[in-house]
Structure formats: structure tokens, C-alpha cells
Amino acid sequence: DINGDGKVSYIMIQGDPENIDAQLRTEYSVKALTDAGVEVEQLDLQRGDWDRNKGQEICQNDLAKYGDQIEVVFCNNDDMAIGALQAIQSAGRTVNKDIYLVGVDALDAAKNEVANGNMTGTVLNDANGQATQAVECMEELLGGKTYAAGEQSVYVDYVKVTPDNVKDFQ
């Protein structure tokens, strides 16, 4: 709550709203705040189609419209976040001082921006963790375990990449 009004005001730059990853990334990024007891206010949610230029354009327009009300920019992927970063810097705002910026995918370019203090964080879609979990599930199935209806999906947590741990991922 950078401006001290009792809530965190954010914009969400979403990938393809029909895509399950975009839906879950949108839901759970905000849920992380509300689960921590933080009151939130969504100023805008727009489709950025995973595109850097659209991320920049949406963020630029929202910064012009909402100004200092925007405390957090959530992006469903790092490419849109890097576009948003360009808009934030052009508007004279400073990430981690008067606005926060978060992406998803832990792309090398985003990890570099996190390490340089230009992004608050990104999230690693943990392929190694997914592979490990897949093998464990396969072994359980081969061992005779059965899954009930509705249990066909096994989720592996994303891994937060922040300035404190980004070196571990570079």
C-alpha cells in the first residue's frame, strides 16, 4: 500500500483470457494478496495476448489514466512485464519505490531486470518440479494407486524469483 489508502490498487495485464494458465495466473496473483489479509482494488484488467508491445501500450494508457493510484502491475508473462517496465520508466516511475511490477515465466531477460531492481519479481513455471511430480505419479499408478474422478490433475507450485533469490536461478 504505497499511497497509504488502506488498499493495494493494481492493474492486471492478462494473456489470453480463454487460456487456463492466464486464468489461474490472474486469479492467484491477486489471491496471494487477499490471503495475506491485504485489501485490493482492481483498476483495470486488459488482454495483452502475451505480447510485449501490448503490455507496454496497456500499461502506458493505464498510467496516463490512473497515475499514482497504480501501486502494482501484474502481468501474466514476462514479455508483457518487460513492455510494462518500458511504460513505467517512460512515465518517470521507479519499480520497487513507487510501483511494483511482477511477471511470470522467469525468462532470462526478466531475471536480469529483477537482479537490476527493475522488476519486483517473476515466477518460475518449475519444469523440473513438474517432471519429478509426473514420475512420482507414474510410479504410484504402476504401483496400483487409482485416482478418483476430479483428481486427474496434479499441480506443482510455481517458484517465486525475487531480488533475494534471483542469483539462484541465473
Contact 156, 134 (CB under 8 A): no
Residue 153 clears pLDDT 90, i.e. is over it: no
Mean of pLDDT over the chain: 93
Strands (E), the chain: 8-14, 40-47, 72-75, 100-102, 122-124, 159-161
Contact 82, 55 (CB under 8 A): yes
Residue 149 clears pLDDT 90, i.e. is over it: no
Each residue's pLDDT tens digit, 12-46 = 999 999 999 899 999 999 999 999 999 999 999 99
Residue 146 confidence class, pLDDT cut points 50, 70, 90: confident
Instruction: Report the pLDDT averaged over residues 83-103.
Output: 97
For 52, how many CA atoms within 13 A lie in the half-sphere containing its CB?
Answer: 9
Ordered domains of the chain (ranges, CATH): 8-126+158-163 (3.40.50.2300)
Give whichever of 101-110, 121-130, 158-167 has the largest mean pLDDT: 101-110
Give pLDDT, residue 130: 86
Give pLDDT, residue 157: 80
Instruction: Report the pLDDT averaged over residues 123-142.
Output: 89
In angstroms, the Cα distances linking 99 to 106, 142, 155 are 20, 50, 31
* pTM as predicted: 0.87
Residue 78 confidence class, pLDDT cut points 50, 70, 90: very high
For 1, how many CA atoms within 13 A lie in the half-sphere containing its CB?
Answer: 12
d(CA 122, CA 161): 5
